[in-house]
């Protein structure tokens, strides 16, 4: 008994640990599912919701819609910093709970707005809430699972979570805009019940008991080495949002310039692109585990992004079906999002890991604002009906070139021991 009892105890502890990891992956994946649902929902029901508020003029629809998107993006940038710092100071689980409560309540309230001012305030609050989910989940996974297998955990989070975009497209297309928002909020609150059994990261517990400085956002700017890692971690993923925020979102305008035989729907394009991104995340995460390298697999996907974007922009006289296929292909090519976030988390020590993992995806999302400004400016430099196509090529090549440069300047992080601090 003296020999077997410790063995049985070890087995019980191992089974308990495995159950905790599985629960953590499920909860984080479903949390990201609801996160993406809300993030994409506004794009799907933007016109429908504004029409419901009495706004029908095309010029106002575009200007107010852009204003609301900017409110959400500014909220995400703000939330990225806030939740990141809190993730290192208060804990990863604290952020998971806090972020989902914030955006769930904002979503439900969104279903009852009666004017644009209320809408804008709630999109900002929702943006703040949406900013915390992915970074906290990825940080928990990378610190809880073994260094050899943690890539599988983050792969499942993003692969499952990104299908929230597909559900958002379906719900937003078949139900009223009020119901669509309330559905998202209720899903989030139901998810809170599942989070009860999730445990905190052991690495965080260790540094919490010490006097180590945690969650200091400005540490990223006090060391040239940390600053380079931070900036490069952001730059490698900007092409993802160039594809979604420019090529797919303005598909109707691109379609006219490309002489598409049918009107192109950005809403359907986003749905097919996110199906591709979800499958791409699963594939990219799996390949990074099989070949034991993050950088080389991201390089392959980044090159596929370049090829697919150029192929689409050089296409002419195509159907809506071709556009949907290309959205899927471009989405599949940009499906290195999960590996990008994982690499960011693995680049930094435990005392600022949540800060980085939460801020970089939101800074990438926020980069859409300067990318759109550049895109609109470059369009004015060209004349003729293909000006928008040429602008898309120029801006696309610039973002992808920066991504290549950043990738080559980041270290390989597969199998890296993460139990260390930034000093």
The CATH number that applies at residue 362 is 1.20.1250.20
Distance (Å, whole) CA 120 – CA 138:
29
Helices (H), 291-408: 295-313, 320-333, 337-346, 353-366, 368-380, 387-408
Distance (Å, whole) CA 25 – CA 345:
16
CB 59 within 8 A of CB 282: no
Secondary structure percentages of the chain, helix, strand, coil, to 5: 80, 0, 20
Kindly calculate the radius of gyration of the chain based on its CA atoms and give it in whole angstroms: 22
Range of the structural domain that residue 82 is part of: 4-408
**What DSSP element (H or E) covers 306?**
helix 295-313
Whether 145 is in a domain gets the answer yes
Whether 417 is in a domain gets the answer no
The 10s digit of each residue's pLDDT in 270-306 is: 889 988 988 898 899 899 999 999 999 999 999 999 9
Distance (Å, whole) CA 355 – CA 366:
16
Whether 413 is in a domain gets the answer no
Whether 422 is in a domain gets the answer no
Distance (Å, whole) CA 341 – CA 224:
21
Question: How many structural domains are present in the chain?
Answer: 1
pLDDT digits (tens), the chain, 423 positions: 445 555 555 555 555 567 777 888 888 888 888 888 887 888 788 888 989 999 888 778 877 887 888 888 889 889 999 999 998 888 888 888 888 889 899 999 999 999 999 999 999 999 999 888 888 888 888 888 888 888 888 888 877 877 888 888 888 888 899 999 999 999 988 887 776 666 666 676 677 777 777 878 888 998 999 999 999 999 999 999 999 989 998 888 899 999 999 999 887 888 899 889 888 988 998 999 999 999 999 999 999 999 999 999 999 999 999 999 999 999 999 999 888 988 998 999 888 888 898 899 889 988 888 898 899 899 999 988 899 999 999 999 999 999 999 999 999 988 888 888 887
Whether 154 is in a domain gets the answer yes
Distance (Å, whole) CA 315 – CA 392:
13
pTM: 0.85
Whether 421 is in a domain gets the answer no
Whether 138 is in a domain gets the answer yes
Distance (Å, whole) CA 408 – CA 313:
27
What pLDDT is stored for residue 186 in this prediction?
92
Q: Quick one: tokens of 271? A: 């749905």
Whether 423 is in a domain gets the answer no
């Amino acid at each position: 008994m003296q020999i077997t009892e410790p063995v049985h105890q070890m087995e019980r502890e191992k089974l308990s640990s495995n159950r905790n990891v599985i629960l953590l992956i499920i909860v984080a994946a479903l949390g990201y599912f609801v996160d993406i649902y809300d993030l994409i929902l506004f794009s799907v029901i933007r016109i429908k919701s504004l029409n419901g508020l009495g706004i029908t003029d095309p010029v106002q629809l575009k200007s107010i819609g852009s204003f609301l998107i900017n409110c959400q993006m500014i909220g995400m940038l703000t939330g990225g910093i806030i939740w990141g710092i809190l993730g290192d100071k208060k804990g990863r689980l604290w952020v998971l709970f806090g972020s989902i409560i914030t955006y769930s309540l904002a979503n439900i309230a969104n279903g009852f707005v009666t004017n644009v001012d209320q809408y804008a305030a709630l999109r900002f609050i929702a943006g703040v809430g949406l900013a915390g989910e992915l970074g906290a989940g990825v940080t928990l996974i990378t610190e809880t699972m073994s260094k050899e297998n943690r890539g599988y955990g983050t792969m499942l989070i993003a692969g499952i979570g990104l299908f929230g975009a597909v559900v958002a497209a379906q719900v937003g297309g078949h139900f009223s805009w009020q119901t669509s928002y309330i559905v998202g909020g209720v899903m989030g609150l139901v998810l809170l019940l599942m989070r009860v059994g999730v445990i905190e990261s052991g690495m965080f517990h260790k540094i919490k008991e010490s006097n180590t400085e945690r969650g200091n956002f400005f540490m990223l700017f006090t060391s040239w080495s940390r600053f380079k890692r931070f900036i490069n971690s952001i730059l490698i993923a900007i092409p993802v949002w160039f594809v979604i925020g420019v090529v797919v979102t303005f598909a109707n305008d691109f379609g006219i310039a490309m002489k598409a035989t049918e009107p192109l729907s950005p809403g359907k394009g986003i749905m097919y692109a996110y199906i591709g991104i979800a499958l791409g995340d699963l594939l990219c995460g799996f390949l990074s585990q099989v070949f034991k390298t993050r950088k080389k697999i991201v390089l392959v996907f980044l090159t596929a992004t370049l090829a697919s974007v150029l192929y689409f922009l050089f296409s002419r006289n195509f159907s809506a079906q071709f556009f949907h296929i290309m959205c899927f292909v471009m989405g599949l090519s940009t499906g290195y999002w999960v590996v990008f976030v994982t690499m960011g988390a693995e680049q930094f020590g435990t005392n600022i890991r949540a800060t980085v993992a939460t801020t970089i995806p939101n800074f990438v999302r926020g980069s859409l604002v300067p990318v759109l400004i550049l895109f609109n400016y470059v369009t004015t430099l060209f004349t003729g009906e293909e000006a928008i196509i040429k602008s898309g090529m120029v801006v696309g090549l610039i973002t992808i070139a920066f991504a290549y440069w950043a990738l080559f300047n980041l270290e390989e992080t597969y199998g890296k021991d993460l139990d260390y601090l930034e000093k």
